[in-house]
Amino acid sequence: MQQYVVDSYVKVEGNRLNFIRHNQRTLRVELYLGLGDNINDLATEAGIRPGGTLILPSSFIGSPREMQQNLQDVMSIVRDFGKPDLFLTFTCNPKWNEIKDNLFPGQKPHDRPNLVARVFDIMKKELLQDMKKMVFWVV
């Protein structure tokens, strides 16, 4: 099952990259011609032949432009609300009773990622509710 999910993801990602490669005009990358000219100039000065330029849009997950956009979003939140006072990390434990009790005989948690994700989401919401109640006690 996991191999199927990974293979499907890779196919979708490959199709997205092919679309971006073949539709650079549609994505209006001509607006970045100055960037391409600069790269060509740097390559010429270094005595190497530049490859083709491919601009990834900020909507492509994991691209440098998307990361930069996320950074700018976070910085604006910090500017508006101030530095965070608390940073929590919440992870899922596959040995939680809620997960083990809902597995079929012979199944392991990695066989049911949908169950693990659902239980994690429920536990996260409970944690946030508990934290909201605690805020009134601390303040």
- Provide the phi-psi class of 106: left if phi over 0, else alpha when psi is between -120 and 50, else beta: left
pLDDT digits (tens, 9 = 90+) for 82-109: 888 878 889 999 999 999 999 999 999 9
Q: What is the pLDDT of the chain when averaged over all its residues?
A: 85
> What are the domain boundaries of the chain?
1-54, 57-84, 86-138
Residues 73, 81: Cα–Cα separation, whole Å: 12
Output the pTM of the full model.
0.50
The answer on pLDDT for 138 being more than 60 is no
Cβ-count burial 103-122 (b if 16+ within 10 Å, e if not): eeeeeebeebeebbeebbee
